[in-house]
Amino acid sequence: MDRISGVRKIMRQIELFRKGIDKEYAKLTFKRFRDESFDFKEIPASSGVYGIHPYPAMFHFLVVRKLLKEFSKRGDFVLDPFMGSGVSAVECLISGRNFIGYDINPLAVLIAKVRTTPIKSNLLLEVLEHIIQDFKNQKPEFLEFDNIYYWFDKEVVKDLSRLRQSIFKIEDSVARDFFKVVFSDTVRRVSKARYDEFKLVRKRENNSIRVLKIFKEIALKNIGLLVRFYENFPPTKTILILEERDILNGIPLEDESIDLVITSPPYGDSRTTVAYGQFSKLPLRWLGIEKDVDKVSLGAKIREIHYNLPSEILYKYIEKIAIEDRKRAKEVFSYYEDLYYSIRIISQKVKRDGLVCFVVGNRKVKGLELPTDKISVDFFSAEGFEHQITIIREISRKRMPHKNSPSNIRGIKDSTMKYEYIVILKKLN
């Protein structure tokens, strides 16, 4: 059974489902089915190097590993235009695939760079020792920004300011980036915002915060994770390009140069789905690389609805929403319009016969579950792709908030996505 390749296994399941052996599959439409072997429920997505800094809606590394094994070979060029914290980048690095990744969020790019850069523990421990000494001798120059004392106690601001000064002085850029990521996680932990929320929500006061102690604990944990991971999975000599970029402005690669795209776009606009910007706001301010990520992510700019997008099913849903709430329909439309533009840009870069694994969540708006997986198939089909199959996997409850506010009304919440859809498409000749 182990030796049956994933594709063959998938084909077998389709066969079973066609014969009506499994009643649950029988309810689903052809080419879209639930596959529990993609759930990896027992293994946390934040294992190993992926435990370095949390990131919202992170890929499960075993899903990426399985897709890479199934749909690519060593030396292939893999693109992730929404790479987030770089799970696909790490998986390519350890499996000999060349990788190009982009993200609009500077914090995501920083985390991705650190996770893909094996460093010797001696160097990191030496620098950590140096930071701790320097911190103690440092005269703090207090950082200031709007509402800083709403989010941090005065003593915490003082200590974070000292730490920041020490980190910015590190000469080795690789070590500096590593400790910036430790610092970012420290900022999130010592702030008055709730650590386990993606949105910026204030929690109760906590008076006994020891910033340096927390920083040191995170640093030692991250050093252990990085070093052990690359001992077990040695990096290969591949091309690795990680860049901050709004991909709606284009992708600077030759057309038809990519063998495989593995990516997961935002599931909807940042206001009502995952707020990457709010998640990153305080660390970005402290790191001096502030950017209002939520104002530039997919669907941030609200536009009038027009009927030029190549998906009938999309308009059925837009019209249903518009009957109840025209403004909300425009918001939803704007997200899908951006998604379509991004798909057009991505499609140009894929070789003929090349594959795309597009991982999406079907979010709810006004009680309606929007079939983003099917809409994505329509968008890719318009760019010369053929839908191969869609695999449905269950999302770990830890990775996504349990409830969100799809109606955008305070207090009214609904359960968020339980499943994600791995849409697999092939570019035709």
Residues that bind ligand SAM (CB under 6 A): 55, 57-59, 82-85, 87, 102-105, 108, 246-248, 264-266, 276, 293, 297-298
CA angle 176, 178, 181 (to 5 degrees): 110
Residue keyed to tokens 């908030």: 401
Nearer to ligand SAM, 174 or 248 (CB): 248
Which residue's Cβ has the minimum distance to ligand SAM? Answer: 84
Closest among 129, 55, 128, 65 to 91, alpha carbons compared: 65
Neighbours of 256 (CB within 10 A): 13
Q: Give the integer Cα–Cα distance in Å for 14 and 272.
A: 35
Q: Shortest Cβ distance from residue 402 to ligand SAM (Å)?
A: 17
Q: Shortest Cβ distance from residue 245 to ligand SAM (Å)?
A: 6
Nearer to ligand SAM, 111 or 163 (CB): 111
Q: Shortest Cβ distance from residue 158 to ligand SAM (Å)?
A: 31
Neighbours of 415 (CB within 10 A): 12
Q: Give the integer Cα–Cα distance in Å for 419 and 39.
A: 10
Q: Give the integer Cα–Cα distance in Å for 157 and 148.
A: 8
Nearer to ligand SAM, 85 or 311 (CB): 85
Q: Shortest Cβ distance from residue 3 to ligand SAM (Å)?
A: 29
In degrees to the nearest 10, what's the CA dihedral of 396, 399, 403, 404? Answer: -140
Nearer to ligand SAM, 164 or 363 (CB): 363
Q: Shortest Cβ distance from residue 244 to ligand SAM (Å)?
A: 9
**Residue 171 in tokens:** 């000469």
Residue keyed to tokens 């402290």: 286
Nearer to ligand SAM, 84 or 283 (CB): 84
Q: Give the integer Cα–Cα distance in Å for 393 and 420.
A: 5
Q: Shortest Cβ distance from residue 279 to ligand SAM (Å)?
A: 9
Residue keyed to tokens 């994505």: 376
Q: Shortest Cβ distance from residue 371 to ligand SAM (Å)?
A: 18
Nearer to ligand SAM, 82 or 179 (CB): 82
Q: Give the integer Cα–Cα distance in Å for 357 and 421.
A: 10
Nearer to ligand SAM, 244 or 325 (CB): 244
